[in-house]
């Protein structure tokens, strides 16, 4: 966050609540009036399944390359189908 601010790059922080309200359209994550072209995920070992699916759809739709580092390997959802 400090680097983004220092370099005068606008950003918003969204949690699962806001991510659920977003749609993937034209290679963007959209929640009017906002359109997002990039996502930065903090280090995490778990992620809700719906969030992971939406982020995967977003990553598949763009001409840009995305680097998230290691994607979470578990979920906070119960009985989500991820092998332990």
3-state helix, strand, coil in the chain (%, to 5): 25, 15, 60
Q: Where are the domains of the chain?
A: 2-60
pTM of the model: 0.70
The DSSP element (H or E) to which 47 belongs, if any, is none
Number of alpha helices (DSSP H) and beta strands (DSSP E) in the chain: 3, 3
Tens digit of each residue's pLDDT (9 = 90 or more) over 6-45: 999 888 888 888 988 999 998 889 999 999 888 888 777 7
**To which residue do tokens 């332990």 refer?**
84
* CB count in 10 Å sphere of residue 46: 12
């Amino acid at each position: 966050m400090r680097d983004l601010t220092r370099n005068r790059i606008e950003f918003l922080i969204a949690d699962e609540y806001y991510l659920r309200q977003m749609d993937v359209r034209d290679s963007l994550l959209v929640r009017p009036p906002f359109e997002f072209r990039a996502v930065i995920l903090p280090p995490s070992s778990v992620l809700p399944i719906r969030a992971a699916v939406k982020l995967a759809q977003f990553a598949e739709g763009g001409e840009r390359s995305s680097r998230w580092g290691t994607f979470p390997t578990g979920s906070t959802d119960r009985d989500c189908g991820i092998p332990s």
